[in-house]
Amino acid sequence: MVLGGRLFYIVADSLQQRQLVRVPLSPPRGMDDILPDEFPLHRRLVETVRLLFRLYGYREVETPTVEYYELFAAKSGEEILSHMYVFKDAHGRQLALRPEMTAPIARLVTGKLSKSPHPIRLGYVADCYRLDEPQWGRRRRFYHGGFEIFGSKEPAADAECLVIFNDFLARAGVKDYFFKVGHVGVQRAVMTSAGIKEEDQDRVLALLDKGRVEEAESLVRQHAGNSEAVQLFSELAAHPPGPGFKTLEEVRERLGQLEPAARELENLRRIIELVSQNIEPSRLKYYPGFARGLSYYTGFIFEAYGSGADIALGGGGRYDGLVSLFGGEDIPGVGFAIGLTRVMQYIMDKEGAELGPDTPLAYIAPLAEEVIGHAFKAASEFRRAGIPTELEPSVYSASESIRRAERRGARFVVMIGRREAEKGTVTVRDLVERVQEEWRADEIYGQAKALLEKVGVGV
């Protein structure tokens, strides 16, 4: 039914009364249903993340969708806080739908996992929520696949994050991409030399992240006590991006005698050097003025971009000090999140991936009412052998059963009629090779296993 341009259901309040209840048939704005044609791609991306957990030694965890507001207020940054879904529970406690996952993972490390041996490698697949303006690649509900390492300050830990992300993109089939790398430690060192406090540095970096460079420079001038550092900050913010090693040398020359900033830059050089053992250097671009919106970043940062898309497919960086901020030990941390929703949309829209729903490999078709019990047993044997199998609950003719199996995308139609039931057999027709065999009921499992090995498709 359509009312006022919107669709609604009619539902029954009781057996005697029907009441019109206004139920929108679309989800809230910026939140998407994942449809049958799309879900296999979504699942493949999630399974790729979980494969990388195992290959790289990450233990998967899960945290609640709802957290205390204070968890994110501590150090997530103004940009995140202003776009959170915040509400109060029945006891007046302020809660929030998680806008990102690093803070909840740091909470775990501070508390329940505080005695774990270092380094602690944790992974997650989670839906997150931000009240952004919906647009391409930016949704209010989105999935992240993340990798976090706690307990190591070594550049190898930072480099591992880039290598894993590169591995994911290659396995996901993203062809043309690059990594935007930076180091907020360099910028923070410059601002510290100018006497700028950490909370003001956070505000400056948040402005840089939004591309509001002039406002960031104005804030630096407002709080700085060193005009030379102000000039250096402006030069870094305006420095054009370029190939990793070449741009590093250009920035090194400009830093001159500012030793703290030079040490941070050397850290970035070592990370790029390690990463270049696994990733083609042309995929690495250093942006000296690059910053990320989350204010807990302290060092190396990066984002991944696909060709033709100006929104990052994911990113992360180093956040030393986050665990201690929550009352734990001073444990360093580095990690990143893959924007699974963005990657999925990128593959569909920019790379033209063919979509399609999951299809059964076998379609069991009872040809008479009295053989449905035989059909149930046959279906169980196919599934026991690992073959995705759909059982038709109604009775159709053989020709109609074949047509229905083809419409569902099945490779094999298994027909059971009165004749098969009497003989204790099933008729298996290969809809690709157009051949047909008759199997005894007691050999279905073995034959199905052999079939599975032949076609190489199963669960």
120 & 230 share domain = yes
330 & 395 share domain = no
Query: Alpha-carbon distance 410 to 434, whole Å?
Result: 13
Which residue range forms the structural domain that includes residue 88? 39-349
Q: For residue 173, is it within any domain? A: yes
174 & 285 share domain = yes
Rounded alpha-carbon distances, angstroms, from residue 323 to 58, 146, 149, 158, 280: 19, 17, 12, 17, 34
281 & 399 share domain = no
Which letter, b or e, does each residue of 249-266 get, where b requires 16 or more Cβ atoms within 10 Å of its Cβ? Answer: eebeeebeebeebbebbe
Q: How many structural domains compose the chain?
A: 2
* Residue stretches of the chain with pLDDT short of 70: 1-18, 75-79, 457-459
Q: Which among 73, 70, 64 is positioned nearest to 128, based on CA atoms?
A: 64
276 & 371 share domain = no
340 & 434 share domain = no
Query: Alpha-carbon distance 261 to 188, whole Å?
Result: 8
Q: For residue 345, is it within any domain? A: yes
User: Pick from 349, 382, 398: which residue ends a domain?
Assistant: 349
Contact 290, 181 (CB under 8 A): yes
Q: For residue 194, is it within any domain? A: yes
338 & 378 share domain = no
231 & 380 share domain = no
34-69 pLDDT, tens digit per residue, is 999 999 999 999 999 999 999 999 999 999 999 999
Q: For residue 73, is it within any domain? A: yes
360-385 pLDDT, tens digit per residue, is 999 999 999 999 999 999 999 999 99
441 & 325 share domain = no
Three-class DSSP labels, 267-336: HHHHHHHHHCCCCCHHHEEECCCCCCCCCCCCCEEEEEEECCCCCCCEEEEECCCHHHHCCCCCCCEEEE
Contact 448, 454 (CB under 8 A): no
73, two tokens: 């207020």
Q: For residue 8, is it within any domain? A: no
329 & 415 share domain = no
C-alpha angle 175/178/180, rounded to 5°? 160
Residues paired with residue 436 on neighbouring β-strands, in sequence order: 429
166, two tokens: 């590169």
Query: Alpha-carbon distance 340 to 357, whole Å?
Result: 19
Q: Which among 374, 369, 355, 382 is positioned nearest to 444, based on CA atoms?
A: 382
Q: For residue 355, is it within any domain? A: no
User: Pick from 289, 322, 349: which residue ends a domain?
Assistant: 349
CATH number at residue 156: 3.30.930.10
User: Pick from 301, 328, 349: which residue ends a domain?
Assistant: 349
313 & 280 share domain = yes
Q: For residue 264, is it within any domain? A: yes
Contact 191, 234 (CB under 8 A): no
Q: For residue 356, is it within any domain? A: no
In eight-state DSSP terms, residue 369 is: G
278 & 139 share domain = yes
Q: Which helix (H) or strand (E) holds 198?
A: helix 198-209
Query: Alpha-carbon distance 374 to 372, whole Å?
Result: 5
CATH number at residue 417: 3.40.50.800
pLDDT at 88: 95
